[in-house]
Amino acid sequence: MNTKKEIIQQLKEEKNAVILAHYYAPPEVQEIADYIGDSFYLSKLAVNLDNPVLVFCGVSFMGESAKILNPDKTVLMPDASADCPMAHMVDRSVVDAAREQYEDLAVVCYINSTAEIKSWSDVCVTSANAVKIVRNLPNKNILFIPDRNLGHFVAKQAPEKHFIYNEGYCPRHEFMSADEVRQLKEAHPQAQVLVHPECNAQILALADYIGSTSGIIKYAAEHTECEEFIIGTVSGVVYKLNESRPDARFYFPATRPSCPDMEQMTLDQVIHVLKTGDNAVAMPPEELTRQAGQALSRMLELAR
């Protein structure tokens, strides 16, 4: 009998599909993926692939971005219920009130958000390029949505701007325990602490390096003099960390930060969508897609 891996390989060839997996997907899913990365990297990469079918192993806002950037391709989500709570955590009234109060306002939107929220915004950012883009904006007043932790992190590095924050957060990073990180530091005094800017301020204060998931993986790969790392992001990233630094040890806070929406994805779901074409992402309404697309294009322009 064929293994699940063999079945997926066969279906991929039949459908001319490519499998894209986010760093936070379960290890068995990352193992069968053609490409692993963060959501924007995967969506952009797909533009240059010939495959007409993309299986996006991530949460719904990622599938939506992939569809906007690849309108002629079929984007299949293995788990249609996988969603990111932070992607919805801003109300239109917050944006309208700030626009009314500040004439030269720029609404800066973290890419981890729905297409509708992107469409209210002037520019999108990733956790990797947010500082550069905010500094490059001509506007003095910045409304940063939806994540307040990333907003505060960027504000510290762009003191010439005036920031207005929104009360959104990623529950996985927000509720990570600083005490648990301190305990790990005591137990492993040689370890460097690498954390994601979505973490709360107490965790960021303990970090040797703060950066995106790709940044954390790159940092660990390049700092070969260090053999132990304490990681402040979702534990799914350990798959890539182990691959690039098999000699190193990675420690996570005891209350292991996991993203249930990502981790509940299974190989059976990948097989199901490949077989049936179920869970295809619909193109958002035209006007909304156009406005969200503008915010994404502005990001590419300002990140250059």
Contacts with ligand SF4, residue ranges (CB under 6 A): 24, 59, 84-86, 112, 170, 172, 234, 259, 261-262
Q: Which is nearer to ligand SF4, 204 or 234 (CB)?
A: 234
Shortest Cβ 294–ligand SF4 spacing (Å) = 23
DSSP state letters, 202-254: HHHTT-SEE--HHHHHHHHHH-TT--EEEEES-GGGHHHHHHH-TTSEEE--S
The label of the residue with tokens 């500040």 reads: 102
Shortest Cβ 85–ligand SF4 spacing (Å) = 6
Nearest 5°: the CA angle 20, 67, 63 is 50
> For residues 129 and 56, what is the distance between their CA atoms, to the nearest angstrom?
23
Q: Which is nearer to ligand SF4, 220 or 262 (CB)?
A: 262
Tokens of 192: 């460097």
**Phi/psi at 280 (nearest 5 deg)?**
-75, 135
Q: Which is nearer to ligand SF4, 91 or 174 (CB)?
A: 174
Choose among 239, 245, 238, 243: nearest CA to 220: 245
The label of the residue with tokens 């249609």 reads: 80
Omega into 146 within 30° of 0, i.e. cis? yes
Q: Which is nearer to ligand SF4, 38 or 122 (CB)?
A: 38
**Sign of torsion over alpha carbons 57, 172, 181, 201:** positive
Element (H, E) at 163: strand 162-165
Q: Which is nearer to ligand SF4, 193 or 262 (CB)?
A: 262
Shortest Cβ 264–ligand SF4 spacing (Å) = 11
Shortest Cβ 241–ligand SF4 spacing (Å) = 16
> For residues 185 and 193, what is the distance between their CA atoms, to the nearest angstrom?
8
Shortest Cβ 79–ligand SF4 spacing (Å) = 12
Q: Which is nearer to ligand SF4, 86 or 181 (CB)?
A: 86
Q: Which is nearer to ligand SF4, 85 or 215 (CB)?
A: 85
Shortest Cβ 61–ligand SF4 spacing (Å) = 8
Q: What are the b/e assignments for 21-37, b being 16+ CB within 10 Å?
A: bbbbbbeebbebbeebb
Tokens of 96: 């309208």
Beta bridge partners, 162, equal: 141
Question: Is residue 154 within 8 Å of residue 131, measured between CB atoms?
Answer: yes
Q: Which is nearer to ligand SF4, 170 or 292 (CB)?
A: 170
